[in-house]
Structure 1
Amino acid sequence: MGMIILDTARNATTYFWGKRTSTIDWCEENYVVSDYIAEFWNCVTNGVFVAMALFGIAGAIKHQQGKRIVACYMGLLLVGCGSACFHATLKYTTQLLDELPMLYLCALGFYSLVEADRTVRFGWKLPAALISLQAAITITYIFWIQSPVFHQAAFASTVCASVAFGYRRQCEMEISNRTRRMFQRLLLQGFLGMAGGFFVWNLDNIFCHRLRTYRSHLGSPFDAFLQLHGWWHILTAYGSTYLLLWVHLTRLARQGHDHLFTIRHFVGFIPHITLKTAKKID
């Protein structure tokens, strides 16, 4: 998601990963901080995705909170790793590794919301439909419509559909006021993270040349604070994590486990669900 920018900081023949083949280049100057990483700050800020995902996976396995929840956190991990690879290399193949897992993660979240009850409602039909849809989007994006706008539209549509369906299921449930407040707080935090990230992402695109001028005046290391695409990664990592917690909470509440859990923050900033009584939920 973004615009193509011509980087003149170094000659393309000197790039460690060779000439850029991605359809997108971001506002961060290429190969300025490191000879081996094309967009250093855009790459390393994906560590927030990785940290959130690894902690979520570890907690879900420790408290036996379900294979689907583990799969969702693994999807978040793939998003972070794919994005880091893309910004490190600026190759078209790694660009796909960045963009496509975002769609697959949304599909996993949607499946977890639909099949949140103890009994499976749709059997193999829902996974087959979701896999077919994602395969169609993937093939179309790779072979026919190689425009980031197509990916953005598909991603936004999947997110909106998932949130709308999950909110509808939430309204149908008979839950305690405490659980309802937690639902509202997680949705709000998820929305603020995603909206804040989208805001700075647009600022980075629209005011790129001005931001580059400001960064050149500030110099290292303070110029890193104006790498707004890196802030997009940080904010959307938080937004995505809170939305995954919302999916997780919806599943627990649908199965009658809302009295067994609480939400805490590891070292003050990594949110996770902790069950008061470890109980396996498949």
Structure 2
Amino acid sequence: MGMIIVDAARNSTTYFWGERTSTIDWCEENYVVSNYIAEFWNSITNSIFVALALLGMHTTIKHRQGKRIFACYAALMFVGCGSVSFHATLKYTTQLLDELPMLYLCGLVIYALVEINKETRYGIKAPLILIAMQAAITAIYVFWIQSPVFHQVAFALTAFGGVGCGLKRLKEMQLSNRTKRILGRLHLLGHVGMWGGFLVWNLDNVFCHRLRSYRAHVGTPLDVFLQLHGWWHILTAYGSTYLLLWVHFIRLARLGHDHLFTIKYRLGFLPYIAMKTPKKID
């Protein structure tokens, strides 16, 4: 399902990162904007992952909301950083840094939902099982089935597993109408971001040659709006963040603190969980 576009002239050793070794090359023309960044727009659009993740990490520290939720936001930042390194270099090693953290993020989300209470229930068993599963998928992908399709299927199944765990937790709790509205909105926006991103990702793959022609026709700066893989990054960054906020708010509801919190936006476009009162909780 990934694109391999042969940009022979722009994959030569004359460019900063040399010849492409990744198994995937996306629709953005290589080394057009900068001789030091292979896919410029595909690289910088990942900054939204980092911004949203840092805001979530700050929230969990400020309100002392647990290492498990903090780890999920940290993993989201790692996803963005790995994607930057991949699109900037188009090397196989950095491709793994782009792809594998997505799986690990989903694994952390599942763990945060399984061990949703303040005190852990399953001890060392739950993390060991999840680590073993992630390690098995990683080993199969790196040493056996080195196909992006395998990674995409494994990621999708793990992501659906995380959503399923969240829905199961919701059925176990009695929620106020306000909390139901907040969770419903977060869940909806998360899926809109993820499925919207998946749509433009496929459009970028299927209609790449046409998009390249259109970009050449409209020229700079309008061509940036036709960099659909970059829009995939933006949409999935928001989709992932809204789903993490959904998980975060589920845990607040489980601990009985949901009435103290709401969703706010920093700078008008960066969503985060904020307290309705200045009081901090343990």
Counterpart residue number, 1:164: 164
Q: Aligned partners of 1:11, 1:168: CA distance in 2, in Å?
A: 48
Q: 1:9 and 1:210, CA in 2 relative to 1: closer, same or farther beyond 3 A?
A: farther
Aligned counterpart, 1:55 = 55
AA aligned to 1:32 is V
**Which position in structure 2 is the counterpart of 1:12?**
12
Q: For 1:39-92, what per-residue CA distance to the aligned partner results, in whole angstroms no more than 9, with x for missing partners?
A: 000000000001101111112111212111111110000000000000000000
The alignment status of 1:206 with 2:206, answered yes or no, reads: yes
2:154 matched residue in structure 1? 154
For the Cα contact (< 8 Å) 1:192–1:239, is it kept in 2? yes
Whether the 8 Å CA contact 2:166–2:247 is kept in 1: the answer is: yes
Report the residue type matching 1:107 in the other structure: G
C-alpha spacing 1:11/1:256, structure 2 compared with 1 (3 Å): closer
Q: Could you say what the CA RMSD is over the residues aligned between the two structures, in angstroms?
A: 1.0
CA distance in 2, matches of 1:10, 1:73: 35
Cα pair distance change 1:144/1:278, threshold 3 Å:
same
1:251, 1:56 → 2: CA distance? 14
Structure 1 stretch 119-128 or stretch 35-44: which is displaced more? 119-128
Which deviates the most, 200-209 or 169-178? 169-178
Structure 2 portions without partners, runs of 5+: none
Secondary structure of the 2:13 match is helix
- Is residue 259 from structure 1 mapped to residue 250 from structure 2 by the alignment? no
Please report the TM-score for the alignment, with normalisation by the length of structure 2. Answer: 0.97
Letter in 2 for 1:136: A
Partner amino acid for 1:208?
A: C
Residue 74 of structure 2: SS of its match in structure 1?
helix
Cα-to-partner distance string for 1:183-212 (whole Å, 9 max, x where unaligned) = 110000000000000000000000000000
Contact 2:200 2:231 in 1 (8 A): yes
**2:280 equivalent among 274, 278, 281:** 278
TM-score (norm 1): 0.97
Partner of 1:34: 34
Secondary structure class of the residue paired with 1:12: coil
Q: Could you tell me which amino acid in structure 2 is paired with residue 10 of structure 1?
A: R
Q: Deviations over 1:78-134 (max 9, x none)?
A: 000000000000000000000000000000111111111133111100000000000
Aligned-partner Cα distance in 2 for 1:270–1:11: 36
Confirm whether residue 72 of structure 1 aligns to residue 53 of structure 2.
no
Q: How does 1:230-245 map to 2 (within 5 A)?
A: 230-245=230-245
TM alignment of 1:78-117, pairs within 5 A: 78-117=78-117
SS at 1:272's partner residue?
strand
Conserved in 2, the CA contact under 8 Å of 1:45 and 1:233?
Answer: yes
Corresponding residue SS for 2:10 = coil
Identity across matched positions, percent: 68
Structure 1 Cα separation of the partners of residues 165 and 67 of structure 2: 21
Runs of 4+ in 1 over 2 A off after TM superposition: 8-11
Code of the aligned partner of 1:164: G
Determine the structure 1 residue equivalent to 2:178. 178
Residue 31 of structure 1 aligns to a residue whose secondary structure is coil
What aligned pairs does 1:192-203 form with structure 2 within 5 A after superposition? 192-203=192-203
- Looking at structure 2, the residues matched to 258 and 10 of structure 1 have their Cα atoms a distance apart, in angstroms, of 52
Aligned to 1:140: 140
Q: Deviation of residue 8 (structure 1)? A: 4.2
